Amino acid sequence: IMNSGITVIPVKIRTFIQDEGEIKHVLDKGYNLIKDVLDKINDKIEIDVAVTWNDFPSFIKEIGEESEIREFKDRLLAHSAEIAIEDRIIIGKMISKRLEGKREEYSSGIHCFLNKISEDMRAHDVMDDRMVLNSAFLINKRNLKDFEEGIELLNIKYENKLNFKCIGPLPPYSFYTLEIKKLNFGKIDWARRKMLLMNNFVTKDEIKKAYQTLAVTFHPDNNPNVPGIETQFEDITNAHEILKEYCLSAEQAGQYDSCSFIEEEFNNNSLLVRLKG
């Protein structure tokens, strides 16, 4: 599809559209957002870059032989033929700290270089100690060759100490993924009646003020030694999030002044289309 020149907006996994009517509902509710995203990602693709140490065991051994760690080991061995377990733990922490410093140094250099030929970047969590970098880059299609050449230059710069794995071109999952969420009237009614004590028509400001009042009243710090207070506070926070989502959906349906909590009108606000945070 992408090779045919069509712009693809990623949609959050596990999103199911039942029929043509529901598709039209999604397009109607999310029209402005979808149009804005299409404008932003036109002619743009995502390239995911994962970087790992080429020879991780050798690299760890090399860190273990650096002057500070080597000197610490020598001092220990000067007093004993064998290093105690607690001292091995200290050495392990020293190596781990040095490894993290090396990772930050290398990843910073790679990001700085690739950002110059990218539109945007998202750094993801590294999966384990063997991984140096795990990032997504948003690039213009016409700059794809420059990006690939940049990866090759980095490979030369780091003298094969690192392995570069690139996945793409992809739709811009890490930057502009749509979330299409079907709201549940039971949860919304629970949040409105049981937790925030709202009427059938409320504004966003009223919801915010009600939440702030209850959050202070039921905050665990203000209620030491009160059984179940953490659960009550968590319920209030969850109720607030549910109502914020519902208000956003109501705005997409054209209800800017207030949100209606009447079940008969719920279908107009039962679908939320937004960018995944």
pLDDT, one tens digit per residue, over 202-215 is: 778 888 888 888 88
Position 221 pLDDT exceeds 70: yes
Position 265 pLDDT exceeds 80: no
Q: Average pLDDT of 248-277? A: 74
What is the CB neighbour count within 10 angstroms for residue 171? 20
**pTM, whole model, 2 decimals?**
0.74
**Token pair recorded at residue 53:** 């140490």
- pLDDT tens column, 82-119: 777 777 788 778 888 888 888 899 899 999 999 999 99
Nearest residue to 118 (alpha-carbon basis) of 178, 169, 9, 45: 45
What is the CB neighbour count within 10 angstroms for residue 54? 15
Of the given ranges (65-69, 154-158, 173-177), which has the lowest mean pLDDT? 65-69
Q: Average pLDDT of 212-238? A: 89
Cis amide bond preceding 169, omega within 30: yes
Give me the pLDDT at residue 123, please.
92
Position 173 pLDDT exceeds 80: yes
**Residue 139's pLDDT band (cuts 50, 70, 90):** very high
- DSSP structural state of residue 163: E
85 contact partners, CB below 8 Å, separation of at least 6 = none
Per the prediction, the chain carries an average pLDDT of 85
Tell me how far the alpha carbon of residue 225 is from its chain's centroid.
35
Q: Average pLDDT of 112-136? A: 92
**How far apart, in whole angstroms, are the C-alpha atoms of residue 90 and residue 70?**
13
- pLDDT tens column, 28-82: 888 889 999 999 999 999 999 999 988 888 877 877 777 777 777 777 677 776 7
**How far apart, in whole angstroms, are the C-alpha atoms of residue 172 and residue 169?**
9
- DSSP structural state of residue 220: G
